[in-house]
Amino acid sequence: MNLADWLRERLGLEALDHVIEKKRVPVHRHTFWYYWGGMTLFLFGVQVATGILLVLYYRPSADEAYESVRFLMTQVSFGWLIRSIHSWSANLLVGAAMIHMFSAFMLKSYRRPREVTWLTGMGLFVLCLAFGFSGYLLPWNQLAFFATKVGTDIMGSVPLVGPFLARLLRGGDQITGGTLTRFFGFHVAILPLCMTALLGIHLFLVQWHGMSVPPGAEQPVAAPKQEMKFVPDFLLRDLVGWLAALGALALLAALFPWELGLKADPYAFAPAGIKPEWYFGYMFQTLRMIPSRVLGIEGELLGIVGFGLGALVWALVPFLDAPDGRGPRARFWRVVGVLAMLYVVVFTLLVYRGGPS
Amino acid sequence: MKRRTFLDVFLAASGAALAAFVAYPIARYLVPPKAPEAATRRVVAAKQDELAPGGFKIFPFGGEPGILIRGRNGEYRALSAVCTHLGCTVQLRPDGQSIWCACHNGLYDLEGRNVSGPPPRPLESYVVHVIGGDVVVEKAKGA
Ligand code: HEM
Ligand code: FES
């Protein structure tokens, strides 16, 4: 008995063989969109790997954070590369997650029995945003300091729980070194833990239910099945995408190393050009465009309540759409999906249109 | 009540109590302690000759930034520098005629009244004295 067989028996790999042998991916004109979940997963892997490397030099205190990142960028061999990849990959990760979410919406993959898969996916998306928000503050530079101030202030205006939430996030009433330590804890301990748990459930459910086939692409039961094996056919195609992403990351990091800017100073005025990372842009832009008072209600508040309700409806769509994905109800939700995508794209672009800040 | 049901209820209640004993200290731990109320009502914001006429500086005042402005004629005024919109720190426009917040283009006049942009309220004004070469800033009575 050789070592491989010895291990197979000890680890019960026969069961795994069975799963691998059986896993299939449907082939139809929308198959392209099935790659985006895997892309998101790959980029998360990049975040974990580079994040762990960053932790080895990073120091989470107001006196040392900025200096430790500068040291990393200028003294540590390839420190600039690791940090730039972590920052760029964070942005691509949120982008890939958005594409994955919108394509699942448009293909109506959330229909029975995949409602919980959709809900865990929403949770993962929110976690990605939380990762981005908490990570952004860590280099403790001017831009991050004020972006965090504005961001936590917005959360502070959520009805009822707002002020409590803002204090909980900041670890006090102001953005201080305490906030930095807290955000570090969120970013490298609490969020990774939540992410790993939720991701585990999400992936298990995807595996358990198999890939869904969108309503327009179902084939007659009698016809031979249009599908490919996951291993190796689909996985190899996945790998091509991942390799391309790795190449893109290396290129972006080398051509546009992530900037560090000026160290945060609680007693300096806010510089022009404070804006959040692009994936908060559409919310930022919306809040900027709402007048300060609408019918006697504070505009801020209206915006926040609106986003909350929007997210709630988005999460509940599996229960609101037609179960068979056909008819006027299904068409209605398809239109909602298109409008939501248009809104996000147009408002994100508006942030960068230039003109008055 | 059947013995079985009793045991089920008893076990569930004990479990819930145990969970609460664990969760309560953790929940309380996560909420930061109230910082002692900033008792600062008075602070030396600058030396008298530190600012040229038309200049300004941001100074710490009880844990928050304040803005000290020296007018063209040499007179001082001081206000809270915390924008009433979402809390960014304001600055004096280079023309010296208005106070500006870069975050969302909020504009105040030199009295701190919100003139345009998103800020919903005026900036709090402070009282300024020049005492023996120091510019002393004080919270207004009753503020
Ligand atoms: C276990 C996983 C992770 C660990 C251990 C980790 C660790 C770190 C550390 C130590 C920093 C500070 C160093 C620096 O600012 O350059 C950082 C920054 C950052 N992280 Fe992560 N991270 C992880 C996952 C993620 C994920 C999933 C995202 C996705 C959105 C993310 C987004 C960011 C961002 C935007 C920054 C700021 C980059 C900068 O401006 O320097 N991180 N991370
Ligand atoms: S924070 Fe000053 S205008 Fe928004």
Is A274 close to B103, i.e. CB distance below 8 A? yes
Angstrom distances, CA of residue B97 to CA of A8, A57, A66, B46, B84: 79, 46, 35, 21, 19
Q: What interhelical angle do A115-137 and A191-209 show, nearest 10?
A: 150
Pairing label, strands B64-70, B114-116? unpaired
Q: Residues, chain A, total? A: 357
Give the whole-angstrom CA distance, residue A125 versus residue A115: 16
Check residue A356 and give its pLDDT. 46
Span A255-272, pLDDT tens digits: 999 999 999 999 999 998
The Å distance, Cα A272 to ligand 2 centre, comes to: 11
Taking the model in full, what pTM does it have?
0.91
**CATH-assigned architecture of domain A276-295+302-357:** Orthogonal Bundle (1.10)
Co-location of B88 and B122 in the same domain:
yes
Q: What is the mean pLDDT of chain A?
A: 93
Co-location of B25 and B47 in the same domain:
no
Span A321-354, pLDDT tens digits: 999 889 999 999 999 999 999 999 999 999 888 6
Distance between B133 CA and the closest CA of chain A, angstroms: 23
Co-location of B7 and B77 in the same domain:
no
* Structure confidence at residue B141 as a pLDDT band (50, 70, 90): confident
The residues spanned by each domain of chain A are 19-212+228-264, 276-295+302-357
* Structure confidence at residue A195 as a pLDDT band (50, 70, 90): very high
Co-location of B93 and B124 in the same domain:
yes
Give the whole-angstrom CA distance, residue B142 versus residue A48: 53
Those residues of chain B whose CB sits closer than 8 Å to some CB in chain A are: 30-32, 35, 58-60, 63-65, 67, 81, 83, 86-91, 101-105, 118-120
Q: Are A131 and A75 in contact (CB under 8 A)?
A: no
Pairing label, strands B91-92, B76-80? unpaired
Co-location of B53 and B27 in the same domain:
no
pLDDT of A147 higher than 70: yes
Assigned domain for B110 exists:
yes
Is B86 close to A154, i.e. CB distance below 8 A? yes
Query: Class of the A19-212+228-264 domain?
Result: mainly alpha
Co-location of B110 and B53 in the same domain:
yes
Assigned domain for B75 exists:
yes
Is B60 close to A293, i.e. CB distance below 8 A? no
Check residue B36 and give its pLDDT. 66
pLDDT of A201 higher than 50: yes
The Å distance, Cα A312 to ligand 2 centre, comes to: 28
Co-location of B29 and B46 in the same domain:
no
The Å distance, Cα A333 to ligand 2 centre, comes to: 36
Distance between A146 CA and the closest CA of chain B, angstroms: 6
Q: B119 is in which domain, residue-wise? A: 42-138
Co-location of B49 and B74 in the same domain:
yes
Assigned domain for B143 exists:
no
Co-location of B3 and B66 in the same domain:
no
- Average pLDDT over every residue of A245-257: 96
- Average pLDDT over every residue of A129-142: 97
Q: Which own/partner pairs from A226-231 qualify as long-range (CB within 8 Å, at least 24 positions apart)?
A: A226/A26, A226/A27, A226/A28, A227/A24, A227/A25, A227/A26, A227/A27, A228/A24, A228/A25, A228/A27, A229/A23, A229/A24, A229/A25, A230/A20, A230/A23, A230/A24, A230/A25, A231/A20, A231/A21, A231/A23
Co-location of B114 and B66 in the same domain:
yes
Instruction: Please give the angle made by the CA atoms of A167, A172 and A177, to the nearest 5 degrees.
Output: 125
Assigned domain for B131 exists:
yes
Any idea of the CA torsion for A243, A247, A248, A252, to the nearest 10 degrees?
150
The bound ligand whose nearest atom lies closest to the alpha carbon of B83 is: 2
Q: Are B38 and B143 in contact (CB under 8 A)?
A: no
Number of domains into which chain B is organized: 2
Is B120 close to A149, i.e. CB distance below 8 A? no
- Average pLDDT over every residue of A236-257: 97
Check residue B72 and give its pLDDT. 87
Tokens at B2, concatenated:
């059947």
Q: What is the ipTM of this complex?
A: 0.84
pLDDT of B102 higher than 70: yes
Co-location of B87 and B133 in the same domain:
yes
B85 lines ligand 2 (CB under 6 A): yes
Co-location of B28 and B83 in the same domain:
no
Give the position of tokens 């994040």: A51
Chain A, window 267-286: residues with a beta carbon less than 8 angstroms from a chain B beta carbon: 267-274
